[in-house]
Structure 1
Amino acid sequence: MWMAHFVKRNRLLRPDRLALADPNRKLTWREFDDRTDALACALLDRGIEKGQRIAISARSRVEVLELYVAGGKAGIVVCPVNPSFPAPEVEHIVRNVEPVAVFAEQQIFDRLGDAFGDGFRVAIGSEEYEELTTTKVRELPLPRQDDVFAILHTSATTGHAKGVAVTHRSVSACYTAMAAEVGFSADDVMINPCPLFHGSVVIGLALFAAGGALVLETEFTPQRWLADVAEYRATKTFLVPSMARFVLKAKAFATADLSSLKDIMFGGAPMPEELLRECLEKFPAPMRCIYGITEGGGPIATHLFRRGEWPFDVAGTVLPTAGRMLPGYHIEVQDDSGNVVPTGDVGEICVRGDGMMLLYWRNTEATAKAVRNGWLRTGDVGYADEDGFLFLVDRRNDVLIRGGQNVYPAEIERVLATQPGVLDVAVVGAPNAEWGEVPVAFIAAGDEPPTVADLIGACARELASYKRPTAVHFVDEIPRNGAGKLLRRVLRDRLAAEAEAKQAAAKETAGAASGAQGAAGSAGAADAAGPASAAGAAGGTGAAGSGQA
């Protein structure tokens, strides 16, 4: 079995080389193999059977990877849980996967109480956990390639997270593809500041399986990342775009030693063009886009951007490519009927290959909707050129329809993100009586924020009139999850709450006006109703820090 094989192989070839590290512990390949063998036997000795599930909830640390590998060695299914999830979301996952054991940091147990259900519990980092890693080793069962290895939950950007069941075949196929395309080797050291509870864990496992050293960061700060790159002489790393922006703005960046870096991977969220250009100018290594989806097993396409190379200028609009398909994957752009669209036409990006998920756990309806004739429908809208390069336009569910015309929020966001003073941006659709939906922008700004007029003016210069935001809201930060993905539903909920509050205020004003009419006559009623009517006509939210266009 590949999970046990790569650990044993690396132990034989480099027993005393660094395998895994976090801020509190460093393990050689010999130590890692011993601990995961013992942990696998301890799970079986506790009565956990092959195919049963264990839940893991912790920040990125050595023990999380130990549990992944131990579960893989024992044929036990690993179910990582986002440590920042609230109790209702954890309860939803627990009801779905029914874990017989839960491993979590003590502070997570303390915060979530009974949300993890009735399975036996072990606090990660406790004496009890350490005792499990010294269990007497015996022969382990041999999982099959098509056995479920893990249930990785989606980002829950639009609702409850769905459990993505990936097999040993899926993970090993993705590892093989990444190793072949990216060139992972035993000489690599990778700094990973990203969480380990979704599909991005496969990138770390791919480097790990190749024999390289994986350095985990429990919490990301630009200062810690810069220090780790220098200390470990890191050759590779993975950053979401917001992390890259923070690193470039850090005071320590100017004097940091980043000379060892050879490949900076990025993904998890769209990379603004201006930020990508800045990264290429200031980082000493090329930038590698990783386009992936948890349901696809992780990464499915990649492209390496080098300084001075910017070959993609489509119809006068520069749009960074998401790359070309990884080995072992096949990608098509299809219409709603499953037909391949002509080169350059927009459709839904679909993928198939050994790396894709087996199914959504206990959700046949969602599985049937996502997988059609062997093709996984990613939900991403985009197009491909004649050379097979993918270009992402937006998420299918994020497209809003204004007066019968499709509006892609990502297109508006790209324009706004390039404006001076804009740190982060999100665009969502707001209900509108006349047009159905209209785009509304949320802006997180720096010390010198732009004006609403500046932002709307930039959109007027570059976008058709129906694509321009009808309102701009300035916020402290744009809501994103641990993977850096935008939580548009949070912003939609805010707009809905503001609209509800406005309606309530209008009713209250109308009621006050009606009461005043009897006392002061119709003229007073007109004065009272006038401002409310004007606000309704303008579509204003009345929220501080907002502007109408």
Structure 2
Amino acid sequence: MQWTCSIRTGAETRPDALALTFKGQRWTYRELDAEVGRWVTALQSRGVTAGDRVALLATNHAAVAQLFFALGRLGAVLAPLNARLTRAELQPLLEDVAPKLTLRLAGVADRFFPEAQTLESFMDGADTTSSYCVPLRPESPRVILFTSGTTGRPKGAVLTEGNFRASARCSEANLGAHPSPRWLGTLPLFHVGGLAMLTRTAYDGGCLVLRERFDAEDTNRAIDEEGVSHASFVATTLERVLDARKDRPVPATFRLALIGGGPVPAPLLARARAAGILSLQTYGLTEACSQVTTEHPDEADGRTAGRPLPGLEVRILGPEGTPVGPGKEGDIEVRGPTVMAGYLNRPDATSETVRDGWLRTKDVGMLDERGRLKVLSRRTDLIVRGGENIYPAELEAVLASHPAVQEVAVVGVPDARWGEVPVAFVATRDGAPLPEDLGAWCRESLAGFKVPARFLAIEALPRNAMGKVERTVLRQRVA
């Protein structure tokens, strides 16, 4: 099995249909096909060929979408990196990728990577459109997305063309077909959720209404005036959308919203439904190319994350490592065509995470009698702040390097605005007062969203008989 570029296919089958919008600009499939061809010309002039990797530091922009499809036509791979990270955080990721090129959007990472060429200057002189387009196979790598584990160095999940196409196909089977879906693209294109929307609209012949970032007022304008049919939110952004529109009903053109990032309060779901926003809770992860389970539109009640998407399997393993029945807690495992090819340069981590086709998520949950998933714990210690994953081990390593810190532990605590925020418990050397520069110390090495919201002094961290920090005790102490 092999496929041609989905934008090229769209240019042949529906050339005048809208494919992409961004900041007042609009591209039909014919126009986007030509623009992607210009990117192919520019990439070929820099010697990019099949198998090469291109690292990218950028916020959402039409050029990112065009670059993604152009690399696919060359058989090359995109490695989009989180533009909010510091140079210290990005350097090991770039070492893993070993890119042929490192590009950035103008104004992004100027301070950290001034040597990287901007996307704007990269296209200077690329006036001709190349028709070059290699066929893509299910196993063809398309992107490398870095996802931190609860311990150790971030790992690059390699997602393939087959992963993205299966994700789109399985999602449509659950949500129902749409003649021309318009997805609102507010999720970052360096996250799997953003890329899943980009590819899904292209495969389905729809349009990505791309935004640089989320803004509640702008989201409502897109829903009311631009015919947006689908969107993705987390609980906090859904609430901000409803607040901004004062619960005014959405037009009939808006079909549904996927809600990720954890459980949504029942009153908020009721508000959304009253405004005509069908909100479907979903569970997914990078290594499974976004969605794994999602509520079905006809049976959504907000109590679970829904059933596995058609074509995917989910099982729960108990303490003995064997599958358990409905209502029993255990480790969530996933199998199906959306599971990643593996971790870049990490065969041991790959074999540990994917066994006999089953992806070990390290999340904890249970299935109910109807086969719907309830997620109980996201990777044990993971903190999800406004949809951004924060791993305590990374913050602890930075704080532990402070000369006045003896030991430290970071836990997530509930927050009305962000869902969760990190709080750091710090034991100082010789019982000295808590240093006043801990926040500034963190900002030297960590993105702003990772910096703990509070620093609390503690004489010594509570530990169990095995010497492990008892994080539950720390959470209780915050409460």
Q: Bin the TM-score by the shorter chain.
A: 0.7 to 0.9
The change in CA–CA distance for 1:157 and 1:267 in structure 2 (over 3 A counts) is farther
**1:161 offset after TM fit, Å?**
2.7
Which letter maps to 1:105?
L
Matches within 5 A, 1:298-313: 298-304=290-296, 310=301
How many Å separate the matches in 2 of 1:327 and 1:306? Answer: 15
1:226 corresponds to:
220
Residue 75, structure 1, aligned to residue 75, structure 2: yes
2:202 to 208, 228, 231: 208
2:432 matched to which residue of 1?
504
1:58 has 2:29 as partner: no
What does 1:75-94 correspond to in 2, within 5 Å? 75-94=75-94
Root-mean-square deviation over aligned CA pairs: 3.4
Partner of 2:20: 20
What amino acid does structure 1 have at the position aligned with 2:333? C
Q: Partner of 2:281 in structure 1?
A: 289
Deviations, residues 27-80 of structure 1 (Å, cap 9, x unaligned):
111111111123124313321121110012211121111111111111001111
Q: Identity of counterpart residues, as a percentage? A: 27
- 3-state SS of paired residue (2:313): strand
Cα displacement (A) at 1:129: 2.0
Q: Report deviation, 1:249.
A: 2.1
**CA displacement at 1:92 relative to structure 2:** 1.4
Paired position in structure 2 for 1:495: 425
> What amino acid sits opposite 2:213 in the alignment?
E
Structure 2 counterpart of 1:34, one-letter code: A
Provide the residue aligned with 1:175 in structure 2: 168
Aligned to 1:235: 229
Contact 1:74 1:143 in 2 (8 A): no
Q: Secondary structure at the match of 2:4?
A: helix
* Cα 1:440/1:355, change in 2 over 3 Å: closer
3-state secondary structure, aligned to 1:113? coil
Post-superposition offset of 1:276? 2.5
Equivalent positions of 1:306-345 (< 5 A) are 310=301, 320-345=303-328
Consecutive unaligned residues of structure 2, counting only runs of 5 or more, are 397-407, 435-457, 463-475
Matched residue SS, 1:264: strand
Choose from 110, 130, 141 the match for 2:134: 141
Amino acid at match of 1:169: G
Counterparts of 1:3 and 1:80, CA distance in 2: 23
Partner of 1:193: 186
- Opposite residue 347 of structure 2, the aligned amino acid is T
Equivalenced residues, count: 424
Inter-partner Cα distance in structure 2 for 1:70 and 1:302: 31
By relative contact order (CA 8 Å, sep 6+), the higher-ranking structure is: 2
Which amino acid is 1:137 matched to? S
Unaligned runs of 5+ in 1: 311-318, 400-408, 414-425, 432-436, 446-476, 481-485, 507-534, 540-545
Contact 2:5 2:136 (8 Å CA) reproduced: no
Task: Pick one of 352, 357, 362 that aligns with 1:369.
Answer: 352
Q: Counterpart of 1:4 in 2: which secondary structure?
A: coil
Kindly name which structure, 1 or 2, has the bigger radius of gyration based on alpha carbons: 1
TM-score by length of 2: 0.79
Structure 2: how far apart are the matches of 1:25 and 1:160? 39
**Deviation of the 1:193 alpha carbon:** 1.0
1:269 aligns to what? 262
The answer to whether the 8 Å contact 1:239/1:265 transfers is yes
Higher helix content, 1 or 2: 1
Q: Tell me the equivalent position of 1:123.
A: 118
CA drift at 1:356: 0.5
What is the TM-score when the length of structure 1 is the normalising length?
Answer: 0.70
Report SS of the residue matched to 1:60: coil
Give the Cα–Cα distance (whole angstroms) in 2 for the partners of residues 78 and 548 of structure 1. 41
Letter in 1 for 2:10: N
**Cα distance change of structure 1 residues 39 and 231 upon mapping to structure 2, 3 Å threshold:** same
State the AA in 1 paired with 2:257.
I
CA contact (8 A) 1:226 1:258 kept: no
Counterpart residue type for residue 364 of structure 1: P
The corresponding residue for 1:463 is: none
CA contact (8 A) 2:19 2:27 kept: yes
Distance 1:184 1:76 in 2: 31
Change (3 A) 1:20 1:131: farther
The answer as to whether partners of 1:175 and 1:202 remain within 8 angstroms in 2 is yes
1:293-332 alpha-carbon deviations (Å, 9 max, x no partner): 110122111104679x64xxxxxxxx72111111221111
Residues 547, 495 of structure 1: alpha-carbon distance in 2 compared, 3 angstrom cutoff = closer
CA distance in 2, matches of 1:159, 1:256: 46
Instruction: Please give the per-residue CA displacement for 1:182-210, whole angstroms capped at 9, x wherever unaligned.
Output: 23434221212111112212133112310
